[in-house]
Every structure is written in structure tokens, then in C-alpha cells.
Amino acid sequence: MPPVSLALLAANAVFFFLLQGADQVGLLTWFALWPPGVPGGPGFEPWQLVTYGFMHVQTVHLAFNMFALYMFGSDIERLFGSRFYLAYYLVCVVAAAVTHLVITGVLGAEPAPTIGASGAMFGLLLAFGWYFPHRRVLLLFPPIPMPARVFVTLYGALELVLGVTGTQQGVAHFAHLGGMLGGWLMIEYRRRR
């Protein structure tokens, strides 16, 4: 794996093991993404826009996100170069957080903390589909091969439907879409440069 992808994978793993062995509640209180104005909660802090993206409590959540980082991040880092790739990744994390906070605030969703690198993974997925549209991607369930651009389009549409309908409570669907939005903005910025 290229250096930044490897470092991001390691950072996520380190945070995961810290959360397993340390004061989990304390770490989540300070570093998870909290919406503003949670009664009795720790409240929103600016650093949470980034730190939430390195926190996973469940092994399956971490495994899926790191598998996506491994599958898509390496090609994108080689294409973008390490510096722009890191900026791209972090913009996706922040865009996912901001989108999630704004949409859930507008919809009046019950305030809850958010964690996970999924927004960044959706940003990487968008870049992969954009720059490698004909590369074949094999779904895990069911195992159907399809071009990357078709996979990305279908997955993005599914996330929108799940977010609007409120299906799969506890999953930050709008954060996933926000990660894609951040990725698109960075791709446009790169194209104009």
C-alpha cells in the first residue's frame, strides 16, 4: 500500500484498539461527532469534524471501512499523489460530518454521536468510479461483477433512498453522501488546477 493509505489504515486501527482497552465513554465523549445542543451531552467541538472519522467501536464497521480503504485508496493515492490524496481524504471526512450535522438538524433527527470513516470511504469510492469507470467491482452480497461507475451510482442512489426513508436507523446515510460530495468538490478543484 502507498504510504498515506497505510498510515490511515494504521491510525484507524490504533484508535480502534484504544477504544477497546481504554475509557471508551471518555474517548467517545471528546472525539466522536456530537451535534450542537445535545442536552447533558458534551456538545460539538471543532476537532470532532476530523476525529470522529478515525473512531470505530465495532470490529465489522472497522473491517468494512479498512477493506474499502485497501481496495480503493491505493489506486487513488497513486493517481493523486500522497499530498493531494491526504487532503482529499480529510475533505471527505469533514464534508461528511458537516452534511450529516446539517441534514439531521434540518430533519429534526434525535441527536446522537457519529463515528466511523465511512464518509471518507464513500469519497474514495466516488473517485475510483470517476477515474476508473470501467474497472470491474465484485459485490460481496450477491457476488455480481459490474463496472465501477455503475456500482458507485447504484450505491449512491441506495444511500439517498435509505437516508430519505429513514431505513437502517443508526447508519449515517447522509454522512456517506456528504463524503461523496466532498470528493466531488475536490475532483472539481483538481480538474480546474
Q: Tell me: the pLDDT tens digits for 9-34?
A: 999 999 999 888 767 777 888 899 99
User: H or E stretch including 183?
Assistant: helix 173-192
Give the count of alpha carbons within 13 A of 74, CB side only. 9
Report yes or no: 92 and 123 within 8 Å, Cβ to Cβ: yes
* Residues in contact with 73: Cβ distance below 8 Å, sequence separation at least 6, in sequence order: 1, 2, 5, 8, 85, 89, 124
Q: How far out from the chain centre does Cα 70 lie?
A: 14
CA angle 156, 80, 59 (to 5 degrees): 55
Number of H helices, E strands in the chain: 9, 2
Backbone angles phi, psi at 11, to 5 degrees: -60, -40
Start-to-end CA distance of the chain, whole Å, equals 27
Residue at grid coordinates 447504484: 154
pLDDT above 70 (res 41): no
Q: Tell me: the pLDDT tens digits for 64-94?
A: 999 999 999 999 999 999 999 999 999 999 9
* Average pLDDT for 145-159: 93
Task: State the DSSP string of 53-91.
Answer: GG---SHHHHHHHHHHIIIIIHHHHHHH-HHHHHHHHHH
Domains and CATH numbers, the chain: 3-192 (1.20.1540.10)
In one letter, which amino acid is 80? F
Q: Tell me: the pLDDT tens digits for 115-136?
A: 999 999 999 999 999 999 999 9
For residue 35, what is its C-alpha cell? 451535534
Taking the CA atoms of 119, 121, 127 and 128 in sequence, report the sign of the dihedral they define: negative
pLDDT above 80 (res 137): yes
Question: Which of 13-22, 47-56, 153-162 is least confident?
Answer: 13-22
Q: How far out from the chain centre does Cα 154 lie?
A: 17
* pLDDT for 47: 94
